[in-house]
Structure 1
Amino acid sequence: MADDFAKAVEDGLKLSKRVYLGKDRAVAPPKPPSPMERTMPSYYLPTSPMVYAVISDPGIVDNPDIPSYQPYVHGKSDPPALIPLQMNGIQLDVDCYLNTAFVRVTGSWRVHCVMGSKNCDCRIAVPMADQGSILGVEVEVMKKSYCTKLIVMEDYKDIENAAQVEDGGFLKPNIFTLKIPQVDGGANLSIKISWSQKLSYGDGQFSISVPFSFPEYVTPAVKKISKKEKIQVNVNTGTGSEILCKTTSHPLKELRRNVGQLGFLYESEVLKWSNTDFSFSYAVSSSHIFGGVLLQSPPVHDVDQREMFCVYLFPGNQQSQKVFKKDVVFVVDISGSMQGKPLEDTRNALSASLNKLNPEDSFSIIAFNGETYLFSASMELVTKDAVERAIQWININFIAGGSTDILPPLNKAKEMLSNARGSIPIIFLITDGAVEDERQICDVMKSQLIRGGSSICPRLYTFGIGLFCNHHFLQMLATIGRGQYDAAYDVDFIESRMEIFFDRALSPILANIAIDTLDDLDEVELYPSRFPDLSSESPLIISGRYKGSFPETLQIKGVLGDLNNLAIDLNIQKAKDIPLDKVSAKQQIDLLTAQAWFSENEQLEEKVAKMSILSGVTSEYTRVIFLETDGVKKATESAGVQKADKSDALKTIDSRGPKTVVLQNLCVGFGNLQATAENLRPGFEEPKLPEAAEIFVKAASNCCGKIWSRCCCMSCIQCCTKINNECAIALMQLCTALACFGCFDLCAEVCCHGNDG
């Protein structure tokens, strides 16, 4: 789909040459890309929030203010071309709390390329950080307004039939799109887009990057139009510690500085829009491990009226902090679906991580498909020779093929780590597939990995590739194993995300973390329920709900890398200006969804759905709708994704007319067993038919369609799009042979009767 989108934008830019922009031009027409850029599939994909005019009829393309009276264009654009709209203003707001950032983009675009008497659909495209979570979209255009809302999926049985790809969803796992219907030429669109994303952490610094690089062709061509660019950044760590601003991509001016808080602003009239992504980093000053507790009462409308708390633990920036000795087993999927880039990127990331292990560490590698393959029957100490042999073994044995069987290699890894002493035993599971015995695997690992005492049980870290594996199964496994879960939904990010994942997991500085005094509360619920280790490359955030009187002092305990015990007194304070319910929403929804899948508990599913609707974070049990209202009847709530009353939503969906559009599922689902069995690769799209067969299918929509409608039903022709390549080629050859015996005569008789040629 991304390639089709890019091709449509390329067609749209060619078509936009029909638009006469007048003599008073502020910018030159867009330069054609170089041959190298033109061959890059991602060249025409958005690098900033964009809006496009969807053009099926090229004849409507013209300047709505200055008609150029160009010759009429015959034919239609199929698929429709996408012309990037000119942007009149843009504002970026970023609010950073603990390890989460909330991003809001507010902009104005004009349909500058369609006649004033005509209209077209418009398409919003929003590139976000990898695994960002869309929170909402609001649109104002002419006398209409639109907004996204969340509804409970189980209440709408026919919802799958209503969703269309072109209406909205993810073009790629990090590019969200949404269609706005029937916008008049010359109209202005005011759009507000909100999403959340995790802050990156490294070297004691938090950082954020937001796509904010606008192409030249979205700059209004007329000089007199004001172009205002604004960026506002607010930081509230809640720690009460000094914050140091480290880097920024744009000239931000400091507005305020309080303990634990910072505020910045950039505002300017510009000749052309930003051509650089917005980036910002800051450090929370500390040379040692420190933490605290934030308390807050729930909002009035919250379905869970228990008190909220959040425990944060930061590693500090002390470079001399001792890291644990580690015994590591990498368990890597080499089934047929990993062929190509997924396996190549996994090989590269794994080789890089082996070179980062310390001399006192030990390791082994297990590759699996339907069989299990061992680099070594026992753990090997990290030496230059051992690492070189391991990399050579990877290059020889990482050959994609076969099915997927996860439990045997996990059992083997657990067996290899059974004698670990004075170290942290770690299992990495990397897979792109779903298997039938996932709940059994969780039960087995739960019985083997959970044990009492002060010993350090094996940690289980999981990494999912693509959208065919069951990410909630991997999340559950990681929770059971006191590890962490990560994923690369997009194959373009596999290597980079995996390297960050390995670095974080291989840098533990505090293990066996426990908070004993919480047991005195009347009731407490923790997310996650089993705490992972604190890494020097990532803070640890634990959220929860409780009943009772929260203790006045709280102490967190753990084991350091030198195997000495550590106890840290946590500072307890009321959370001011930090929406704890929203900051912790995604973490809690992800963990509860994994638990609901594992236990098959309908009450948990209902709880997740309610949390999703209240927080605006999409879930597996809710669905996003795009709701249209008139100028008088606007949405009463300010959030982009708002709470949807069941009865009101039912009335809206059941009403006639294009008032509501149900979007495709914006979550990852629960895995695809069929795709795994067929070894479909991550990012796989249904292959196109051979060129001649495509011509045959298209015949139903052109002049020869008159013939086929008499001898072959349209549903039969549609079936041709589902057959495999071999059958398509055979069918094409048969039809070509039949055509030789009289197709042209029949065409002349039925379709072209009375014409000279």
Structure 2
Amino acid sequence: MKTGIAGQSSAGERHWQAIGQWFCFRALPAATGLLVTLLLVTISPARAAGELGEDGAGQMRWHDRVTGTYQAAITQQSSLDVRVAGMLAVVQLEQVFHNTTQSWQEGIYSFPLPEDAAVRRLEMQVGDRVVIGKVREREEAKVLYRQAKAAGKKASLVEQQRPNLFTNRIANIAPGEQVTVRLQYVQTARYNAGRFTLRIPTTLTARYIPGISRVLPEADAPALSAVGMQGEYPGWSLPTDEVPDAPAITPYLYPQAGSDSAPLNPLHLQVELDAGMPLAEVQALYHELSLARDGQRYRLHLAHGPAEMDRDVVLQWRPVTGAMPRAALFTEQLGEETFGLLMVLPPELAPQQANLPREVVFVVDVSGSMAGVSIQQAREALALALRQLRPGDRFNILAFDDNVRPLFASAVPATRHHLAQAGEFVRQLAAGGGTEMRPALERALASTAEEETPLLRQVIFITDGAVGNEQALFELIEQRLGRSRLFTVGIGSAPNHWFMQRAAQAGRGFSVQVGDVGEAAGAMTELFARIAAPLAADVRVEWPQAVEAWPERVPDLYRGQPLIQAVRFTDALPAGEVTVSAVLVGESWQTTMPVPAQPGNTRHEGVASVWARSKIAGLMALKSAGQPEEGIRTRVLEVALAHQLLSPYTSFVAIEERVSREPTTPLRSGAVPNTRPRGQGHQPYAYPNTATTGPAKAFMGCFALFIALLVHVMRRPEEDRV
């Protein structure tokens, strides 16, 4: 009997061991996979938004959070009227909002503008009625808008969330009604390597929001209200510890696919160009334009009617050989004050650094926002850059998304073997995951062990700049730059140009753009040619009288890069000369140009606005240097209110005095959709770091219960059955 019992007990042990193995190797992986799938679905607020309105061409819908149903959306179309004189462009952006729903609506539209745009006028039109907007302090403007909205008055509120990202709110749009909002701004054309370029963004690349969510949705409405986000912005992200204003820069409706044949957001464009000099070439890089010429004046418009707002509008013009002046001064009289904009071209010199060895660190963004054509452009740009390396150079590649993946542990010589390894690494790059830039920048800017080696250390950063924590990254670059120089390569149809330009400025470098695969070769060749050329260093400008100049200190200039400085004359415009000097390859260089006592034909509309915008940008850059924000805010407010400009601390508000909606009639808010940048792959779910922790806690709770049940079963005492 004992022997039988023992044998039966051994069989029971084997039976329970088999059950345990089945749980561990079959049931546990399957259950874990199922729970992970459920977690990904539940933490994805942008996934549902990404599915809205793709059931028909031009038919957009928004989700009514009260009824749980989908309603027709507010639609919008835009018109750009661009007038260029010299290097100054005065642009009028007209946005027409149409309420296709059966209820009163508040439209909320996020849109981009050039990072250097000086927004100086707002007007709202309803039927034949036109209301002129006023610049107010930001919080005051919000209060006025809320009061008008609650009272049933038509109102528009335009706010700057970033220097190149704005939000327009239009309250009390009646069913079937159209409301037109017009913004006027001034920007400067950029000059480089013999060409002027004017770039106007039209859509947004969704920005990655790093950090941990600070509050939970719905349940923590008071906490949301405390940070000014409750009911203000319908963004898909909550505030995080790194991006406290995340709801304001993450539109609720994820960018949708569009096309020129059936535009989701139609764009009308007309341009009048008077460069003030004979031109050899005028072109648009990403749109087909019709061109008419009258002497030196050109008129351009879209050749095939409205286009989809899914890529930047980029205009370029090239003066005929010898027509480009080496220096120019544009002036404007505003009241009793005179403002000036100076452009000086230092002479170009042949490359002098060809024999100096370099250490080049390539940092390439392979996050989800780079999916589609962008990752192809990045691979092509990186492959071309590798071909620019010379014997004696050292290099490394850092690919990043949620994590940083270096090709080598440290920089290696640019031998044929190492370049072959790099080529295979580049071919295998694929887009996915979040855009965690900080660890990649920290590693790229880390000091090398060979401090005594006289290498030119250059960091080439290839990205679309789709992040929300820009200010923290600028501060990191300035703090860690050391002897390195940072150059940015903007990728895609709608990159974050403000980030690209400002990061390069903080890194004492410059930025180039690759908007199409065909542009990669030219962009990378230009980048390395300019890197190899000598700098114009210790640049100084001396005026015949005291002026307030921005930027206050002119940076070193790379080959083909002009000196641009905006000034306010403290007295009447003086007669005399302005002197510009620099050091070129160890030699002193100097040039002068006359300053006329009267503006004459050099007078240009918008110079005063450019000066004010330059001063605001210069003041805001002081935050990276650690200056207190309160002092910066006071100085920015003084300039913005005096010149009636949009800024981080001021907003435009336009309110119609008549009541349109009875206050007792319900009013609903609906986000106006943006168009997905051309060529960008669809991103099926929101970025993981901004998801709330509720679903994660539920998953971990279920997983813990499962493990506890498994342990309980495994530890149950065996029952001997005789």
TM-score (norm 1): 0.54
In the TM superposition, residue 506 of structure 1 has moved relative to its aligned partner by 2.8
Residues 535-684 of structure 1 correspond to what in structure 2 (within 5 A)?
535-536=559-560, 539-545=562-568, 547=570, 551-559=576-584, 567-570=590-593, 574=599, 575-601=602-628, 602-614=630-642, 618-620=646-648, 622-624=649-651, 626-630=653-657, 684=687
The 8 Å contact of residues 141 and 188 in structure 1, kept in 2 or not, is answered as: yes
Counterparts of 1:267 and 1:465 in 2: how far apart (Å)?
Answer: 24
Measured in 1, the distance between the counterparts of 2:368 and 2:471 equals 15
Report how far residue 723 of structure 1 moved.
Answer: 0.6
Q: Residues 200-251 of structure 1, C-alpha deviation per residue, up to 9 Å, x if partnerless?
A: 767633344666986658999xxxxxxxx986433354xx542345236343
Paired residue for 1:311, among 311, 334, 342?
A: 342
* Shift, 1:552, TM fit: 1.4
Deviation for aligned residue 1:580 = 1.6
Partner of 1:284: 319
In the other structure, the counterpart of 2:290 is: 251
Partner of residue 696, structure 1: none
Deviation at 1:140, TM superposition (A): 1.4
The answer to which of 472-481 and 248-257 deviates more is 472-481
How do residues 726-741 of structure 1 correspond to structure 2 at under 5 angstroms? 726-727=697-698
Report the AA paired with residue 254 of structure 1.
R
Partner of 2:91: 103
| Amino acid in structure 2 at the alignment position of 1:482 | R
User: Any conservation in 2 of the 1:92–1:230 contact (CA below 8 Å)?
Assistant: yes
Matching residue of 2:508: 482
How far apart are the structure 2 equivalents of 1:581 and 1:83?
36
Per-residue displacement from partner, 1:369-426 (whole Å, max 9, x unpaired)? 9999684866746x66553344446678999999828556525259568514xxx653
Percent of counterpart pairs with the same letter?
14
The correspondence for 1:121, drawn from 101, 105, 108, is 105
**Shift in CA distance, 130/555, structure 1 to aligned 2, threshold 3 Å:** closer
Q: State the alpha-carbon separation in 2 of the partners of residues 629 and 587 from structure 1.
A: 32
Alpha carbons 2:487, 2:511 under 8 Å: kept: yes
Q: Does the aligned pair in 1 maintain the 2:459–2:487 contact within 8 Å?
A: yes
- Partner-residue secondary structure (3-state), 2:617: helix
Contact 1:329 1:366 survives alignment (8 Å): no
Distance in 1, matches of 2:517 and 2:644, equals 31
Which residue of structure 1 aligns with residue 420 of structure 2? 388
Q: 1-side partners of 2:199 and 2:541: how far apart? A: 38
In structure 2, how many angstroms separate the alpha carbons of the residues matched to 1:517 and 1:76? 64
Relative to structure 1, the CA distance from residue 360 to residue 614 in structure 2 (aligned partners, 3 Å threshold; closer, same or farther) is farther
Q: How far did residue 102 of structure 1 move?
A: 3.6
Deviations 1:637-669 (A, max 9, x none): xxxxxxxxxxxxxxxxxxx999x99999xxxxx
Q: Is the 8 A contact 1:169 1:177 kept in 2?
A: yes
Distance 1:594 1:218, change over 3 A: closer
Give 1:482 shift.
3.4
- C-alpha change, 1:120 and 1:157, in structure 2 (3 Å) is closer
Amino acid in structure 1 at the alignment position of 2:104: C
Change over 3 Å in CA distance of 1:479–1:252 after alignment to 2: closer
| CA displacement, residues 575-623 of structure 1 (integer Å, 9 cap, x when unaligned) | 4124223235544433321223413244333223333445565443x14
- Residue 348 of structure 1, aligned match among 368, 375, 379: 379
Of 517, 535, 538, the match for 1:511? 535
Contact 1:521 1:546 (C-alpha < 8 Å) held by counterparts: yes
Mapped contact 2:74–2:107 kept (Cα < 8 A): no
CA contact (8 A) 1:168 1:176 kept: yes
- Per the alignment, in what secondary structure is the counterpart of residue 426 of structure 1? strand
Instruction: Indicate if the aligned counterparts of 2:487 and 2:510 stay in contact, CA closer than 8 A.
Output: yes
Amino acid in the other structure paired with 2:510: Q
CA deviations 1:117-174 (Å, max 9, x no partner) are: x65326475765775858365321148655655433477999999999x987799998
2:535–2:559 Cα contact (<8 Å) kept:
no
Q: How many corresponding residue pairs?
A: 556
Q: Do the aligned residues in 2 keep the contact of 1:122 with 1:182 (CA within 8 Å)? A: yes
Distance 1:338 1:76 in 2: 32
User: Alpha carbons of 1:9 and 1:53: their partners in 2 closer, same or farther (altered >3 Å)?
Assistant: closer
The 5-angstrom pairing of residues 135-150 of structure 1 reads 135=119, 137-142=122-127, 149-150=134-135
Going from structure 1 to structure 2, the CA distance change for 1:472 and 1:309 (only over 3 Å counts) comes to same
- Native 8 Å contact 2:330 2:342 kept in 1: no
User: Measured at CA, do residues 339 and 353 of structure 1 come closer, stay the same or move farther in structure 2, by a change above 3 Å?
Assistant: same
Q: 1:733 to 1:407 in 2, by over 3 A?
A: closer
1:662, 1:606 → 2: CA distance? 33
The amino acid across from 1:364 in the alignment is F
SS of corresponding position for 1:482: coil
Residue correspondence of structure 1 range 73-112 to structure 2 within 5 A: 78-82=69-73, 84=75, 92-96=80-84, 101-106=89-94
Q: Match for 1:506: what amino acid?
A: F
Aligned to 2:551: 527
Name the residue aligned to 1:709: none
Distance in 2 (alpha carbons) for counterparts of 1:531 and 1:613: 28
Q: SS at 1:96's partner residue?
A: strand
User: Deviation at 1:93?
Assistant: 1.4
Q: Note the residue ranges of structure 1 that are not aligned, 5 or more in a row.
A: 12-31, 34-43, 46-51, 58-74, 221-228, 450-457, 634-655, 665-680, 689-720, 735-757
Quote the Cα distance in structure 1 between the aligned partners of 2:117 and 2:53: 25
Structure 1 residues 529 and 495: CA distance shift in structure 2, 3 A:
farther
- Rounded to whole Å, the distance in 2 between the matches of 1:546 and 1:531 is 21
Equivalent pair of 1:524/1:545 in contact (CA under 8 Å): yes
1:292 to partner: Cα distance: 1.3
The counterpart of 1:723, out of the listed 694, 700, 709, is 694
Q: Which moved more, 1:539-548 or 1:596-605?
A: 539-548
**CA separation in 2, counterparts of 1:218 and 1:494?**
22
> Any idea what SS the aligned residue of 1:534 has?
coil
Correspondence 1:274 to 2:323: no
- Shift in CA distance, 292/330, structure 1 to aligned 2, threshold 3 Å: same
SS, match of residue 181 in structure 1 = strand
CA RMSD of aligned residues (A): 6.3
Return closer, same or farther for 1:183/1:199 CA change in 2, 3 Å cut-off. Answer: same
Q: Per-residue displacement from partner, 1:327-373 (whole Å, max 9, x unpaired)?
A: 55444668998998599679626623524526478342264999996
What is residue 235 of structure 1 aligned with on the other side?
273
Q: Which residue number corresponds to residue 181 of structure 1? A: 171
Task: Return the alpha-carbon distance in structure 2 between the equivalents of residues 364 and 76 of structure 1.
Answer: 57
Amino acid at match of 2:393: S
**Structure 2 matches for 1:109-508, cutoff 5 A?**
113=100, 119-121=103-105, 123=107, 128=112, 133=117, 135=119, 137-142=122-127, 149-153=134-138, 178-194=168-184, 199=189, 204-208=194-198, 216=262, 232-237=270-275, 241-247=277-283, 249-255=288-294, 257=296, 262-264=297-299, 273-275=305-307, 280-286=315-321, 291-294=326-329, 296=331, 299-300=334-335, 308-314=339-345, 322=351, 325=354, 328-331=358-361, 341=371, 348=379, 351-355=382-386, 357=388, 359=390, 362-365=393-396, 367=398, 375=408, 380=413, 387-392=419-424, 404=439, 409-412=444-447, 419-420=454-455, 426-428=458-460, 442=478, 445=481, 459-461=485-487, 478-479=504-505, 482-484=508-510, 505-508=527-530
SS in 2 for 1:604: helix
CA distance in 1, matches of 2:546, 2:389: 45
Taking the aligned partners of 1:521 and 1:388, their CA distance within structure 2 comes to 59
Where structure 2 has 5 or more consecutive residues not aligned to the other structure, the ranges are 1-44, 151-155, 204-258, 672-683, 706-722
Name the CA shift for 1:618/1:333 in 2 (closer, same or farther; >3 Å). farther
Distance 1:167 1:200 in 2: 30
